[in-house]
Amino acid sequence: MGDSAALSSTTLLPSSSSSSILHSSIFPRTWASTCHQDSVWSFPAITRRQGRRGVRILNAAGATLLEQPGGKTVMVELVGAFNELTERMNNNTNKDLFTSSSHILLFNSLKLSIPILQTLPLSRDGRSPLSRALSLALLLADLQMDAEVISAGILREVLEAGAISLHEVRNRIGTGTAHLLHESYRVKSIPSKVDVLDEDSAAALRKFCLTYYDVRAVVLDLALKLETMRHLDYLPRYQRQLLSLEVMMIHAPLAHAVGTNSLSLELEDLSFRYLFPYSYFYLDTWLRSHQTGSKPIVEIYREHLLQSLKSDPLLADMVDGISVSGRYKMSL
């Protein structure tokens, strides 16, 4: 199949002839039960879960991949990753981001990246580069980012390994994806612009990012930072703490500023855990011990505060309504 083939569906289907099952370690729930080692992969159609008109894909794509060494494994990963990403994108509230062109972009990015990623050695955190790339892509899809950002997330691992250049990304995938990758590298280098990281310099760096860089590239870098923070145990303690301090002062507030609150909360939580492990353990234990049944302690005190405010007649005369929200925030 050519790179410009029409692609606008959510599920790629292999042919039904089979014997033993080939399990995938990346997304077994999605496709391991339907992918078979002895299948003759054909791509007869792309089916739409919503019953929309399916679009046929040329069988040449499957045939070309199968002729290559390890083609079946590449096909399994490509089909599964594509289905998982498009399924999550289908849940996006902004349907303008869910188009046939976005499907083509994701498919081409996966087709370029997966064969390369499968040949790379394990990363320092013990994960395969393919697992790292797809985890980042899924995180970006859950954040409801567009296909260009997700495509950049898929290709970031390949680019860092030196297996492909920005020039090749621009020519084979598109200018938009290459631009985001270039911008994300600029965002990554932001902490090196200051000699001493204090409150003032951190605030200046955050302002610089929001002023001069593509906000989508900022979100891409933040998602990559979260993926890194989730797998820090392989580093010496002092390196974990240095990175956590940087995340606490720059990236967590930056994530809040760009509207990715879920990223901000998890970055804060992980940073606190590595910077102050004993305090983190103490607070976590205390919070768990004060939970009443299945109701978190924050919710209990939120309700108490709300009832107290509503029972104040003076306050009731001054405002039209009262609401209270709360969340855990394990940071200083």
Q: Are residues 147 and 249 in the same domain?
A: no
User: Residue holding tokens 């289908």?
Assistant: 90
pTM of the model: 0.73
Cβ neighbors of 252 (< 8 A, separation 6 or more) are: 264, 267, 268, 271, 331
Q: How far apart are CA 185 and CA 98, in angstroms?
A: 27
3-class state of residue 55 by DSSP: strand
- Tell me whether residue 207 is in a domain: yes
Q: What is the pLDDT of residues 286-308, one digit of tens each?
A: 877 776 666 677 788 888 888 88
Q: How far apart are CA 261 and CA 253, in angstroms?
A: 9
Q: Are residues 158 and 176 in the same domain?
A: yes
Q: Are residues 132 and 246 in the same domain?
A: no
**Which residues of the chain, if any, have pLDDT below 70?**
1-71, 92-98, 291-295, 327-332
Would you state the pLDDT for residue 88?
A: 85
Domain that holds residue 329: 287-332
Would you state the pLDDT for residue 98?
A: 67
Alpha helices for 290-327 (secondary structure H): 297-310, 313-318
- Tell me whether residue 282 is in a domain: no
- Tokens matching residue 166: 């920005």
- Tell me whether residue 112 is in a domain: yes
Q: Report whether 229 contacts 242 (CB < 8 A).
A: no
CATH number at residue 114: 1.10.3210
Would you state the pLDDT for residue 20?
A: 31
∠ CA 311-313-319, rounded to 5°: 100
Q: Are residues 311 and 162 in the same domain?
A: no
Q: Are residues 178 and 297 in the same domain?
A: no
